[in-house]
Amino acid sequence: MSRPLSLFLRFTAITLAGACVFALIAALLIPEVANVSGAGSYEKGTQIALPDLLQGSIITDMNGQPAGSLVGSENRVIVPLSQISTEMQQAVLAVEDSDFYVHHGVSAKSVLRAVRANSAAGGVSQGGSTITQQLVKLSLVGNEQSMKRKVKEASLALQLEQQFCKDRPRRDCKDEILERYLNTVYLGRGAYGVEAAAQMYFGKSAAELTSGDAAVLTSLVRNPTGYDPIRFPEVATRRRHIVLGRMAEVGAITPEEAALIEQTPLPTEVVKSRSSATAQDLTYFERKVRDELLQAEWLAPTEALRRERIFNGGLVITSTLDPRAQMLAEAASASNPIKKANPETVAAVAVVEPSSGAVRAVVGQTNLPDQGLVEIATPQVGRSPGSSFKAFTLLAALEAGYSIRDSILASPAPQKLYKGWGIKDSSWPSGCKGGTVELAKATSSSNNCAFARLQAAVGGAKVVDVARRLGLNTLTDESASYPSLTLGGTAVRPLEMAAAYAAIANDGVYNPAHFVTKVTDQTGAVLFEYVPATEQAISVDVARQATVALQGVVTGGTYKGGSLPNRQPAAGKTGTNEAAGGENTDVWFVGFTPQIATAVWIGNPAGQTEMKGGRVQGGTVAGKVWHEFMAPYLEGTPVQQFAIPGKIKTSRKVIPDPWSKSMSSAERSGAMSGSSTTVPRSSARGSSTTTALAPKPTSAPTTEAPAPEPVPEPPPAPTPEPAP
């Protein structure tokens, strides 16, 4: 056949094909003509503004490593094109728009090729819309099935490319459009964009995706639900075969590589889900970060706006988490020495840095069979602290001008006085001997009678004031009227106790326990950075004297033997709460070094139940868990010494007995903060154990005590708080 004849026949075939296509398009357009008017029009110079992509916030640990996320309606992690593997880019381009870098937003060639390929495949193997058109559909016009929408989509795609590519190298503007598309497209199971999908299906970043991974994800573009490889593996396998064929056709992979990939298994389970739409999807630390930011007025003026920014604003949140400390805290909690005899008990461990208040680790929740996750580090009501509360009475006494070398009487209260409080026991507090004792010794031996008197001498209101300044938010004005306050007649939270003792270690400067150190937005601008406090909650000398007394607990007191390796100095206080039946229900040790403060509480989160297994006390049980964390945590760190207090008074004066018969009724009432309360049974086994929660106050004591009232039952333990 001659060349002119060949060209003529080719021209005729193309003309006929074009006429057929034109006729087909016209047939489709005629019913929609009335709706198309204006669909593709736009004013010259109008700028298309693509909406901001929703993106969850990323939480990092103190070292900047990923530690969690807060994800809202769209699980998306925006990454630059340079962090998406070449294989992933090639796969999407091969299937969705192989002429992407050639056309100007719309491609008739792509439509014709897609019709031909889909007819041959008996299904959708290629898309007719360009990637630019798909981006417009996803971002601006939606997926309404109408000709008006299609015309508008094409019109906006042309305009978008013109806008993006004005005065720029074509490759650069095309890369920007492809990057936006790969961060926008939905790929199933709540994952938007290839980074979130890569993490979910393969547990890797988009930069690490192979050609086989890319074939699976590209398969999902057309039908994220129907081609789900986990739910519908047979359908997904067939779809992957089509994608691999197209990749081989354009040269992204060889046919041999395609055949090898087809032999590899599809994902069978979600590797890493970032869904955080509900509290149940969050870890404990993620929930605490969320709660802290929900209260942050610097983030947004209303809680609704703060929630939107937290879950959809793409924040980078640097948390206080020390992953090594968290691992050690969890191991220490699991070492609970009474777990075998008391399987219902758990150990809360809260670790706070004194210099900043940063929560470096926390074991703060547990799973109850009938209630799910419940809070144990910051429960709404709290638990009795036992004698670990005595530290606040000591601080109040030091603020009042007393010294740890001063002495106080350590015998039970006069009979007429405790009968006035409704006490039926032969003595209160129990387990005490007569004579006087130095405050330092009373602290190390946890002398109940000495501290009950000290509270009376200083005044319960001043004790409550000190505790509140150090962050114990569960105390009320009524707490000041409990004679058993210093012995544990209130409720506290482990995390707040750790922060309070951390302030003592920090020379009296209190930093609230917090979980967020720094927050930046999507542009990298710093929105917040925590600045440690500088104001004194208690004076430097008061804090240092108290530290000396609390060191005695570890070196020769109720937790003798708790000393840390390498002569690392430590200070702290034991606490044990005894129920009316005589068994202990809550045990504590709160201790610190110059570097770190840790609170340990062990008990039954479902309620106060008596614990079996011998001497279940703060020093013998909670102290062991504390040591189990502190010893390895401090291993290899430089030994730091506590600061030495100023000259301690050596007069050793005896603090006047507030319960003395020589005191008037008014004086004694003033010493007791003007009121008293009925006090439950206190320990009879030793000075380290204390009373249960004090019930509602009755009347103030007087010299002539009224007839005793019956001792009421201690209040029931609060129902455990579900994790919010």
Predicted confidence (pLDDT) per residue in 14-23, tens digit: 445 444 444 4
**What is the average per-residue pLDDT within 236-242?**
96
In degrees rounded to 5, what are phi and psi of residue 329? -65, -40
Give the lowest-confidence range in 39-53, 68-82, 384-398, 488-502: 39-53
Predicted confidence (pLDDT) per residue in 425-480, tens digit: 667 887 787 799 999 999 999 999 999 999 999 999 999 999 999 999 999 999 99
* Confidence band for 152, pLDDT divided at 50, 70 and 90: confident
**What is the average per-residue pLDDT within 78-106?**
94
pLDDT of residue 370: 80
Q: Which range, 128-142, 149-163, 322-336, is most confident?
A: 322-336
* Confidence band for 538, pLDDT divided at 50, 70 and 90: very high
* Confidence band for 128, pLDDT divided at 50, 70 and 90: low
- Helix/strand/coil for 82: helix
Omega before 512 within 30 of 0, i.e. cis: no
DSSP secondary structure of 283-336 = -HHHHHHHHHHHT-TTT-SSHHHHHHHHHHB--EEEE---HHHHHHHHHHHHT-
Residue in 456, 457, 453, 479 with CA at minimum distance from that of residue 467: 479
**What is the average per-residue pLDDT within 87-113?**
87
Bridge partners of residue 574, in order along the sequence:
589
What are the residue boundaries of the structural domains of the chain, listed by start? 55-72+276-319, 77-262, 386-517+532-671
**What is the average per-residue pLDDT within 100-106?**
91
Bridge partners of residue 358, in order along the sequence:
514
Q: Is the pTM value of this prediction over 0.85?
A: no
In degrees rounded to 5, what are phi and psi of residue 448? -65, -45
Q: Which two tokens stand for residue 593?
A: 């070094």
* Fold that domain 386-517+532-671 belongs to in CATH: Beta-lactamase (3.40.710)
649, 653, 658, 659 alpha-carbon torsion, rounded to 10°: 140
Predicted confidence (pLDDT) per residue in 338-359, tens digit: 999 999 999 999 999 999 999 9
Percent of the chain at pLDDT > 90 equals 62
Tally of residues, the chain: 724
pLDDT at 673 over 50: no
Tokens 């032999």 belong to 263
The DSSP symbol for 386 reads G
Predicted confidence (pLDDT) per residue in 475-506, tens digit: 999 999 888 999 999 999 999 999 999 999 99
CATH superfamily for 77-262 is Biosynthetic peptidoglycan transglycosylase-like (1.10.3810.10)
